Every structure is written in structure tokens, then in C-alpha cells.
């Protein structure tokens, strides 16, 4: 059975995007050790799961010459990866290796977890994270806590109507002040 993880950057006050959807703050605390960690994660394989907003943002950057120049290892991993984008409004998803799904994310992920051997990771995509957390389908929450306070924004759990107990399974602090925290749902 495939494993589903959610990977997101969050601010100290719990937002994964600023009040206007910005996330440049997540790139403001970088260091060589953290960059190597991110590059290593981009080469792990599996399927990247995205909502429309995150898909459009990533598809507008990672296939570009600028991305290959700025971050060639991550760009290569992102462009080669299998991608699944959930959207009711997109008519196509032209970024290579992308499959557009217009059906219910909960039912599609439930099916994929049973039928696929390839692990999946949700990047960004707060509405998808919230829906799949609500359904108990996320096996691991990978959070990078950034040393910044935004004061307003959006959490990746907007709309969640039940409590989800978690247990810490891994952590790592980087020289930049970023803290990687990995949680699994409590049994």
C-alpha cells in the first residue's frame, strides 16, 4: 500500500501562506545544510500531489531555465516526478508527467493508496491537505517551521472539523533556524 505524506513550510504562527498567498518568506532562511536536505528530498521519487493553485505556481517556475540555473537538482527532480493535480477548473495540465484529476481527492487518493506501490507527497495545497487529513488518509506530516511570524495568512488545515492527534517521529534543526518536524497520526 502506498504511503501519503504532506510536506509544507509554515511560519512560527502556523501559516503556510501569507495573507495574500505569498510564500517568499519560506525562502528567506536558507543555509547549505538545509539546501542539501531539500535537494535530497526532491530526488526521492514517488508522486507529487497538488491542488490547482500550487500546481500553477510550480508549473510556472520549475520547468524554466531560471529554475535550472538557480536550483538544478530540485528542478530536475520536480520536472521528472510524476504529478497528480486536483482541479475542477483546469482544462489541461501540460507540465510533463502530470495527470489532471477532476474527481473527489479523497476517493482518488483512497483508491491510489490501495492500488499503487508508489508513495505520494502533497506539496503546498492546503485545501487538499485539509480534506485528506479530515479523511485520515495522510500517513505523515513533514513540516518545516520557518523562523518568521507572518501575523496573518492561511493554515494548511483550514476547514478541518475534527482533531487529529500526532506523534513526533523525527526532527532536525538547521543553522538557518529552520526546524524540520515529522509527525504521524496517533494510532
User: pTM value?
Assistant: 0.91
Helix (H) / strand (E) element for 56: namely helix 52-59
Rg (CA), the chain: 16
How many domains are contained in the chain? 1
Within 10 A of 66 (CB to CB), how many other CB atoms are there?
A: 10
Cα–Cα distance between 18 and 149 in angstroms, integer?
10
Structural domain of 70: 4-185
pLDDT in tens, 16-73: 999 988 888 888 888 889 888 887 776 667 899 999 999 999 999 999 999 999 989 8
pLDDT in tens, 85-127: 999 999 999 999 999 999 999 999 999 999 988 899 999 888 9
Strands 4-11 and 140-146: parallel
The domain that holds 71 is classified in CATH as 3.40.430.10
Amino acid at each position: 500500500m502506498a504511503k501519503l505524506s504532506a510536506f509544507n513550510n509554515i511560519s512560527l504562527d502556523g501559516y503556510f501562506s501569507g495573507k495574500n498567498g505569498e510564500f517568499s518568506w519560506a525562502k528567506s532562511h536558507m543555509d547549505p545544510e538545509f539546501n542539501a536536505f531539500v535537494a535530497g528530498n526532491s530526488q526521492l521519487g514517488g508522486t507529487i500531489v497538488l491542488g490547482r493553485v500550487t500546481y500553477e505556481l510550480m508549473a510556472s517556475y520549475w520547468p524554466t531555465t531560471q529554475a535550472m540555473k538557480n536550483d538544478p537538482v530540485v528542478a530536475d527532480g520536480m520536472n521528472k516526478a510524476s504529478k497528480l493535480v486536483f482541479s475542477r477548473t483546469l482544462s489541461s495540465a501540460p507540465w510533463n508527467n502530470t495527470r489532471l484529476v477532476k474527481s473527489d481527492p479523497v476517493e482518488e487518493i483512497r483508491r491510489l493508496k490501495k492500488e499503487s506501490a508508489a508513495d505520494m507527497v502533497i506539496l503546498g495545497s492546503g485545501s487538499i491537505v485539509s480534506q485528506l487529513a479530515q479523511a485520515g488518509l495522510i500517513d505523515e506530516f513533514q513540516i518545516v517551521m520557518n523562523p518568521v511570524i507572518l501575523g496573518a495568512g492561511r493554515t494548511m488545515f483550514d476547514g478541518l472539523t475534527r482533531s487529529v492527534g500526532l506523534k513526533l517521529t523525527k526532527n532536525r534543526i538547521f543553522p538557518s533556524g529552520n526546524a524540520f518536524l515529522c509527525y504521524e497520526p496517533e494510532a
